[in-house]
Structure 1
């Protein structure tokens, strides 16, 4: 789901709205049920807000199916199905099944990896669940996370990547012409000082984690800071805020993985949701549980099955595009 500065309605109300949506979509739904739904909507303004959110999720899901075409729509549905037995079969022997999946995941795909960006300008994007690995003309590399849009522009004075949405990982190359390498975001410009780093664009701020070298930040309003290797920061138009040590495991998404090292379940589910069409939520009653392990970003249903095996939780799916992790 797209990032938003507005908080979601209460979890309980969201679940009620999804249940109403499923009930009204049933062919047996009659006038009495519609009247009960109207009374529910009118009881509380938050009910209406939750209902609008569910409608938006449904519309985006249907739009994604339409854009994907027949074959792509089948792929989307395959990645949003609720068949627990199928997910158990995918899980198989746990570690062995994940190892087999990783072998498949790292087999090079000619249309998804290794593409060379050699022109002066190039617009690149990924769809939900897609990760791309691109070679830059100066020998560097650029990885695009799920639902990411960038422009790449090399000219005589500058090597520039403009991040519009999503997240990127960059390994800069050595440029014989010594042109600066910069990443422009809506909140400011980052200048790489021979480095490897990730940048994520949120609606109200940017996030930077530096793994090698250092990166200079200049915000849109002129605040400046240099973030060294092993550190991370958030930045807005007017300020830069150091955010502690950078976790090298955050780079794992470039290999199609999400690494949870004692990560709260709520945060892990939020990450998995980036790779899945529709709504993927977590009940506050289990959001505090700590998760360990390595999960496949491109197979969120397999990841959910792994979580069900590891923690006292269960995935509920009242609609093809609505999944909630709750107590087992």
Structure 2
């Protein structure tokens, strides 16, 4: 099958391609996957591809999503990558040992590992360097030496550094829920993020880190924020806020949905459909798109985070939408 001029990985893509171009690109991809596709169809596809820059961006996006799945079709690569992820998702005494075990896979194993770096399973380089990590759709509940409980959401990774003077978690990626333990030595408890440091003051709280900011929601006690610019704020139980390296937003009422994920649930309380699908997409590989005509439909309910098909069936039952499956890994929600 003819491809675009160069391989394009997910990180090369624009944040959002337009919906109609993505829809047509996926349809063309399905057509060209057919072994009976003829030269006229390929010529028509090329004409469409060259017509607008948006078409080429959409095609690159479809290719990138497809690549994540086609890499898994080779049994040798899949087995090697699975072993690598197993190494990544366990706590290991030495990161060099972890690297050595991955390198020891050898041959196809190395190719599988490198290939999976360009898939969403999980952010593997971050994962194998971290003390604890999860892949797509995986959630973990761990208990630390001081009886602190930490839940890791999908695609998350943390490092744990306990010393004589402090207890420190470093959130490398993703989202965590923390319920601090009562330390006999009364050491302060910190969470470092890319945009600043949090100090827990006898608390239960969630921290979600993205490229743009960090979202903190506090459910018990208080959490002190100090961002990289030195700005300080105290967030109390029942409040949430966002902060960046330079600024801390005013606190708002905490969203109960922010901790529902620890029970495997996406909680929607009058949530726009497009926002629910974006949250669902964090737990699943592939693409799930929403037609702009139904994007703002309001959704209320509890949905299983790790069962996309069941969630989509529930939405199709309750809303005036239909689920369109153009490819096994490409799904869109459209008006019924």
TM-score, length-scaled by structure 2: 0.79
Quick one: structure 1 residues 5 and 140, their matched pair in 2 at CA, closer, same or farther if it must change by over 3 Å?
Answer: farther
Map of 2:27 onto structure 1: 19
Deviation beyond 6 Å, 4+ runs, structure 1: 1-5, 115-122
Say whether the 8 Å CA contact 1:208–1:234 is kept in structure 2: yes
RMSD, aligned α-carbons: 2.8
CA contact (8 A) 1:126 1:145 kept: yes
Q: Is the 8 A contact 1:41 1:47 kept in 2?
A: yes
Following the alignment from structure 1 to structure 2, what is the Cα–Cα distance between the partners of residues 23 and 322?
14
**Structure 2 unaligned regions, length at least 5:** 1-8, 96-129
- 1:266 equivalent to 2:253? Answer no
* Number of equivalenced pairs: 287
Q: Is the Cα contact below 8 Å between 2:235 and 2:251 reproduced in 1?
A: no
- Distance of 1:257 and 1:170 partners within structure 2: 17
2:199 pairs, out of 191, 197, 200, with 191
Distance in 2, Cα, partners of 1:154 & 1:181: 9
Q: Aligned match of 1:148 in 156, 162, 165?
A: 156
Higher RCO, 1 vs 2 (CA within 8 Å, ≥6 residues apart): 1
Q: 1:46 Cα deviation (Å)?
A: 1.1
Aligned to 1:161: 169
User: Is the contact between residue 231 and residue 244 of structure 1 (CA under 8 Å) also seen in structure 2?
Assistant: yes
Per-residue deviation at 1:7? Answer: 3.2
Per-residue Cα deviation, 1:200-248 (whole angstroms, up to 9, x for no partner): 1111211111111111111122222111111111111111112521122
CA contact (8 A) 2:222 2:234 kept: yes
Q: What is the DSSP-based 3-state SS (H/G/I as helix, E as strand, rest coil) of the residue aligned with 1:57?
A: helix
Query: Which residue in 1 is equivalent to 2:296?
Result: 288
Contact 1:130/1:145 (8 A) holds in 2:
yes
Which residue among 246, 252, 257 is the counterpart of 2:265? 257
CA shift at 1:3, angstroms? 9.4
Query: Among 236, 249, 254, which residue is 2:244 paired with?
Result: 236
Distance 1:299 1:259, change over 3 A: same
Aligned equivalents of 1:149 and 1:30: distance in 2?
47
Q: Deviations over 1:135-181 (max 9, x none)?
A: 11111100011111111221222211111211111101111112221
Cα separation, 2, equivalents of 1:218 and 1:68? 42
| Residue 113 of structure 2: aligned partner | none
Unpaired segments of 5 or more residues in structure 1?
A: 73-110
Q: 1:243 and 1:230, CA in 2 relative to 1: closer, same or farther beyond 3 A?
A: same
Q: 1:118 to 1:14 in 2, by over 3 A?
A: closer
Measure, in 1, the Cα distance between the counterparts of 2:284 and 2:294: 20
Within 5 A, what are the aligned runs for 1:14-53? Answer: 14-53=22-61
Structure 1, 289-298 or 239-248: larger mean CA deviation: 239-248
Q: Is the 8 A contact 1:145 1:167 kept in 2?
A: yes
Q: 1:273 to 1:317 in 2, by over 3 A?
A: same
Residues 1:303 and 2:316 aligned together: no
Is the CA contact 2:272–2:299 (under 8 Å) kept in the aligned structure 1?
Answer: yes
After superposition, the Cα gap between the structure-2 partners of 1:158 and 1:196, relative to the gap in structure 1 and judged at 3 Å, is same
- Deviation of the 1:281 alpha carbon: 1.4
Equivalent position of 1:60 in the other structure:
68
Distance 2:168 2:195 in 1: 15
TM-score by length of 1: 0.81
- Of residues 202, 209, 216 in structure 2, which corresponds to 1:201? 209
